[in-house]
Amino acid sequence: MTMPPEQLKAKTYLLEKGTQAPVAQIRERVAEAFAAMDTLLEGVTEAQARRAPGGGEWSIHEILDHLVETHPRALEEMRELLASRHSPVSPIPAGLQSAAPMARRWDDLRDGLRRIHAEVLDVLAIAPDRPTEARAPVVMVINTRDADGRVTPLHWNEECDWKACAVIFRLHELDHLSQIRKVLRAI
């Protein structure tokens, strides 16, 4: 079966911008994505964050809950791979949220996201610029466009090394940054 072009593009990106990239470049790009998220969230009130855009889409509050749930697991995964061990948390479910996303306080979510951002960057700051043989299955989700123009998510598990996992922090953050901007426009 042939691989869709979007999947091939994603795999190439993970190889070139992750596995083969210098760790300093990965850290810089991840830091830029985290900073962009922090800057955008500075202007979001709790009332805005809790407001759902409709159509089954997540509110900004729910998006942050998702990041606060997934990023610590992804960091644990990356740490295990850096130590050349298989991660016990792999694969992390794509739509993971806490049991009660809206029960969390907005300020607590913001603080939690800032903390995990700092932890990820701290690990990347001391990570050796070397590959490891260890791999973890990462649930990849990208949007593809059908022949009729409809956007459909494509899911697959990608075996990633620690550097590919590191660059996925950037991709994940940017994806949800775009989602938050879309929610802000809708509300």
Can you tell me the distance from the alpha carbon of 4 to that of 7, in angstroms, rounded to the nearest whole number? 5
Q: Which two tokens stand for residue 103?
A: 């029960």
Domains of the chain: 5-186 (1.20.120.450)
Give this prediction's pTM.
0.93
Q: Which tokens sit at 58?
A: 């997540």
What is the distance in angstroms between the CA of the first residue and the CA of the last residue of the chain? 42
Q: What is the pLDDT along the chain (187 residues), one digit of tens a residue?
A: 688 888 999 999 999 999 999 999 999 999 999 999 999 999 999 999 999 998 889 999 999 999 999 999 999 999 999 999 988 887 898 999 999 999 999 999 999 999 999 999 999 999 999 988 999 999 999 888 888 888 888 899 999 999 999 999 999 999 999 999 999 999 8
Task: For residues 116 and 29, give the distance between their C-alpha atoms in angstroms, rounded to a whole number.
Answer: 16
Amino acid code (one letter) for 181? R
